[in-house]
Amino acid sequence: MRQRALRLPVLLGLIFGLAGADCGTEMKVAGYEGDDRESWQQIDRVIETLGLSAGQQVADIGSGSGYFTRHLAPAVAPGGRVFAVDVDPEMNAYLEARLAEEGIENVTVVLAEPGDPGLVEGSIDLVFTSNTYHHLPNQRAYFAGLRPYLAPGARLAVVEYEPSKAGWFARTFGHATPKAQIVAAIVAAGYRLEADHDFLERQSFLIFEPSTP
Ligand SMILES: C[S@@+](CC[C@H](N)C(=O)[O-])C[C@H]1O[C@@H](n2cnc3c(N)ncnc32)[C@H](O)[C@@H]1O
């Protein structure tokens, strides 16, 4: 009974948090970080695969509670910075507080417009986005619009629930996108697929680079 009671906030958080609804910080954090995520996300392997170096600048688009931001930050230290970009002021405030609590100093939290992260032109070495692709309005236009923000040699990494592997919730409520659909939109936006990593049990993990300098 107690276990069931404990699961309820996580389930509600998953429903409302993934839907981006205004339902309270705790619920959203439970939605983004619950469901025993540590057991399937393989965050260390994802970060290692990104091959980041000290001094680089990363934009985490749709940073939410900072699940990835907080792991990306040490990967670019010293001298690097993560821009945690989100349209949700409540989540941004939560993340600011959590970063301060954890003593992570190389993150700038950015309140974005839905169609534009509002970064500095030519500054970003890696655009990273996790479980956010399906939230973005007109993905092709969105990723095309990111091109001016990229530094020479920049890459784009997209982690997204894959319908053929994700759980019922992501499939049923449209929080998953077929890999082929992501590749088609991002290639049309002016990138080429550089790597297709298939080690995540619920998500696709794709890396792109601009197709023209
Ligand atoms: C499901 S959460 C993913 C959070 C985090 N990336 C993770 O993997 O735990 C999606 C996040 O994307 C944000 N979001 C939705 N539309 C966005 C947009 N157009 N630009 C930036 N962030 C957006 C939401 O506010 C939410 O915090």
Q: Residue 135 C-alpha to ligand 1 middle, in angstroms?
A: 7
Q: Which of 11-20, 92-101, 104-113, 179-188 has the lowest mean pLDDT?
A: 11-20
Rounded to 5 degrees, φ, ψ at 118 are 65, 55
9 and 101 share a domain? Answer: no
136 lines ligand 1 (CB under 6 A): yes
- pLDDT (average), residues 26-45: 92
- pLDDT (average), residues 37-63: 97
Does residue 211 have a pLDDT over 60?
yes
14 and 103 share a domain? Answer: no
7 and 105 share a domain? Answer: no
Name which of 130, 129, 74 is nearest 106 in CA terms: 74
89 and 179 share a domain? Answer: yes
Name which of 23, 18, 7, 32 is nearest 173 in CA terms: 18
**pLDDT grade for 19, boundaries at 50, 70 and 90:** low
15 lines ligand 1 (CB under 6 A): no
75 and 51 share a domain? Answer: yes
**In this predicted structure, what is the pLDDT of residue 34?**
87
186 and 133 share a domain? Answer: yes
174 lines ligand 1 (CB under 6 A): no
Instruction: Identify the CATH number of the domain in which residue 183 sits.
Output: 3.40.50.150
State the total domains in the chain. 2
152 and 103 share a domain? Answer: yes
The minimum-distance atom of ligand 1 relative to the CA of 129 is 6
**pLDDT grade for 9, boundaries at 50, 70 and 90:** very low
Is residue 188 within 8 Å of 181, Cβ to Cβ?
no
180 and 79 share a domain? Answer: yes
88 lines ligand 1 (CB under 6 A): yes
Show the domain range for 23.
Answer: 1-35
5 and 20 share a domain? Answer: yes
21 and 63 share a domain? Answer: no
pTM: 0.90
**In this predicted structure, what is the pLDDT of residue 116?**
96
Q: Which residue CA neighbors atom 26 of ligand 1 most closely?
A: 64
**In this predicted structure, what is the pLDDT of residue 18?**
52
67 lines ligand 1 (CB under 6 A): yes
What are the angstrom distances between the C-alpha of 8 and each of 3, 13, 110? 9, 8, 31
